[in-house]
């Protein structure tokens, strides 16, 4: 039996998803032994294949299948199918998994102190601020995980030029055991960087316009392609993201505002995950003009939560000032500088935030 590097198995969740009918997933099985993964997943997909609706493409995703049939019915069918499939898997998958695991052996980490890092931290405030926002703790002592922001204020979220891709590739080769990751937040990760190399990495990134210190801040916006590219879009999302980022860069407030996930979609398909943004923006079309609807209180974290609509939409010209009122108002409302936007919202409820968005006419 495989141990998956320490994990005994899985909790299996099914039927979550965003899009036009956002739903939080439900637990299908609290414990699935690691070795039974493939027969069980195959059972899920084959039950869905037969039971999922083919008469209406908007009701065809598995979240609707689960919703319409109920999780118990799905569980009963999956378990029945799984019981049959399990006997057909005779261990080839586990052998394959062992071969695959050998490919993913951790690199050899050299655990030592990093004097260069501390020295450079003293002399460069820009580096300090970048370390504060863009570095995450690594499991090996002396190492760090670097998040490279593809959200320079005013640029298109998630875009990288060929020259930037080459710089990131070169840095991965020299300083990150030849590895890069792409995050769902549309940034690039150097997963294994020794802390003593961080100053060099930072300088190289800065030269390539890749050292924006904003991971997790309001300008680290997720935005779908929207009307600039997408055939399904009802509104633009990239320009809105660019305007918000530029505005907050100018206000020089985003580090003070702290953790805030802002997510923008250009239509109800929700590729920009606006339902789970602390602040979500959904671009719609009303009688030929763009209208941006704000949702508040969404969360993609462990306690997944869908945001609630704040009220009527804003026009393209009014959406950025509305977000500004909201965020500046939050600074006044928060209990202290450590209380994030989401925490304030959860503590105070929607009313004071709605009042910021829709001030009464004097």
Partner 1 sequence: MYHYSSFDQDFVNTRVEQFRAQVARRLDGSLTEDEFKPFRLMNGLYLQLHAYMLRVAIPYGTLNSRQMTQLAMISERWDKGYGHFTTRQNIQFNWPKLEDVPNILEALAEVEMHAIQTSGNTIRNITTDHFSGAAADEIADPRPIAELLRQWSTDHPEFQFLPRKFKIAVTGSAAAAPSPALMTLVCG
Residues that bind ligand SF4 (CB under 6 A): 224-226, 230, 232-233, 265-267, 269-272
- Considering CB distances under 5 to 8 angstroms, the limit depending on partner class, which of partner 1, ligand SF4, none binds residue 7? partner 1
CB of 252 to partner 1, least distance (A): 27
CB atoms within 10 A of CB 163: 10
Say if CB 110 and CB 142 are below 8 A apart. Answer: yes
Which one among 118, 132, 178, 256 touches partner 1, defined by CB under 8 A? Answer: 178
**Tokens linked to 180:** 């890069």
Say if CB 342 and CB 331 are below 8 A apart. Answer: no
CB of 342 to ligand SF4, least distance (A): 22
Asked if residue 88 binds partner 1 (CB under 8 A), the reply is no
Residues 227-246 within binding reach of partner 1 (CB under 8 A) = 227, 229-231, 233
Say if CB 24 and CB 63 are below 8 A apart. Answer: no
Which one among 114, 160, 208, 342 touches partner 1, defined by CB under 8 A? Answer: 160
| Residue number with CB closer to partner 1 (277 or 330) | 277
Say if CB 291 and CB 314 are below 8 A apart. Answer: yes
DSSP line for 269-331: T-TT-GGGSSEEEEEEEETTEEEEEEEES-B-SSS-B--EE-SS-EETTTHHHHHHHHHHHHH
Antiparallel, parallel or unpaired: β 279-286 and 262-265? parallel
Alpha carbon distance 38, 94 (integer Å) = 9
Cβ-based neighbours of 26, under 8 Å, separated by 6 or more: 13, 14, 15, 16, 66, 71
Alpha carbon distance 240, 245 (integer Å) = 9
CB of 86 to ligand SF4, least distance (A): 38
- Considering CB distances under 5 to 8 angstroms, the limit depending on partner class, which of ligand SF4, partner 1, none binds residue 48? partner 1
CB of 237 to ligand SF4, least distance (A): 6
- Considering CB distances under 5 to 8 angstroms, the limit depending on partner class, which of ligand SF4, partner 1, none binds residue 269? ligand SF4
CB of 332 to partner 1, least distance (A): 30
Binding residues with partner 1: total (CB under 8 A): 93
Asked if residue 48 binds partner 1 (CB under 8 A), the reply is yes
| Residue number with CB closer to ligand SF4 (12 or 238) | 238
Residues 265-324 within binding reach of partner 1 (CB under 8 A) = 271-273, 301-302
286, β-bridge pairs: 289
- Considering CB distances under 5 to 8 angstroms, the limit depending on partner class, which of ligand SF4, partner 1, none binds residue 226? ligand SF4
- Considering CB distances under 5 to 8 angstroms, the limit depending on partner class, which of ligand SF4, partner 1, none binds residue 168? partner 1
CB of 199 to ligand SF4, least distance (A): 38
| Residue number with CB closer to partner 1 (264 or 320) | 264
| Residue number with CB closer to ligand SF4 (20 or 347) | 20
Q: Is the dihedral of CA 242, 269, 304, 307 positive or negative?
A: positive
CB atoms within 10 A of CB 221: 29
CB of 195 to partner 1, least distance (A): 13
| Residue number with CB closer to partner 1 (9 or 283) | 9
Q: Between 2 and 31, how does the x/- string for binding to partner 1 read (CB under 8 A)?
A: --xxxxxxxxxxxxxx-------x--x-xx
Phi/psi at 194 (nearest 5 deg)?
A: -70, 140
Cβ-based neighbours of 288, under 8 Å, separated by 6 or more: none
Which one among 63, 236, 274, 334 touches partner 1, defined by CB under 8 A? Answer: 63
Exposure b/e, 228-266, CB count within 10 A at least 16 = b:
eebeebbbbbbbbbbbbbebbbeeebbeebbbbbbbbbb
| Residue number with CB closer to partner 1 (2 or 124) | 2
- Considering CB distances under 5 to 8 angstroms, the limit depending on partner class, which of ligand SF4, partner 1, none binds residue 150? partner 1
Alpha carbon distance 311, 295 (integer Å) = 8
Which one among 101, 118, 256, 318 touches partner 1, defined by CB under 8 A? Answer: 101
């Amino acid at each position: 039996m495989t141990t998956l590097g320490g994990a005994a198995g899985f909790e299996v969740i099914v039927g979550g998803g965003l899009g036009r009918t956002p739903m939080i997933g439900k637990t299908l099985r609290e414990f699935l032994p690691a070795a039974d993964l493939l027969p069980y997943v195959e059972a899920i997909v084959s039950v869905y294949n037969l039971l999922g609706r083919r008469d209406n493409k908007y009701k065809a995703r598995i979240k609707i299948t689960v919703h319409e049939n109920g999780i118990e019915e799905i569980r009963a069918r999956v378990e029945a199918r799984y019981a049959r499939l399990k006997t057909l898997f005779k261990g080839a998958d586990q052998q394959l998994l062992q071969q695959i695991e050998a490919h993913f052996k951790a690199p050899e980490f050299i655990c030592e102190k990093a004097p260069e890092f501390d020295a450079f931290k003293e002399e460069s405030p820009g580096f300090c601020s970048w370390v504060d926002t863009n570095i995450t703790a690594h499991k090996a002592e002396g190492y760090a995980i670097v998040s490279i922001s593809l959200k320079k204020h005013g640029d298109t979220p998630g875009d990288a030029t060929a020259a930037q891709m080459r710089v990131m590739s070169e840095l991965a080769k020299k300083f990150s055991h030849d590895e890069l990751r792409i995050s769902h937040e549309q940034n690039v990760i150097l997963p294994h960087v020794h802390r003593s190399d961080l100053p060099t990495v930072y300088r190289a990134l800065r030269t390539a316009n890749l050292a924006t210190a904003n991971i997790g801040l309001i300008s680290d916006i997720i935005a779908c392609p929207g009307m600039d590219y997408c055939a399904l879009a009802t509104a633009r999302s990239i320009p809105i993201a660019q305007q918000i980022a530029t505005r907050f860069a100018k206000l020089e407030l985003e580090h003070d505002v702290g953790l805030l996930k802002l997510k923008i979609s250009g239509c109800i398909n929700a590729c920009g995950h606006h339902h789970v943004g602390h602040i979500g923006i959904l671009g719609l079309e009303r009688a030929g003009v763009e209208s941006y609807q704000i949702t508040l209180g969404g969360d993609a974290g462990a306690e997944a939560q869908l945001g609630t609509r704040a009220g009527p939409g804003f026009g393209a010209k009014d959406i950025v000032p509305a977000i500004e009122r909201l965020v500046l108002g939050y600074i006044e409302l928060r209990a202290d500088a450590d209380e994030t936007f989401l925490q304030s919202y959860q503590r105070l409820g929607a009313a004071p935030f709605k009042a910021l968005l829709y001030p009464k006419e004097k």
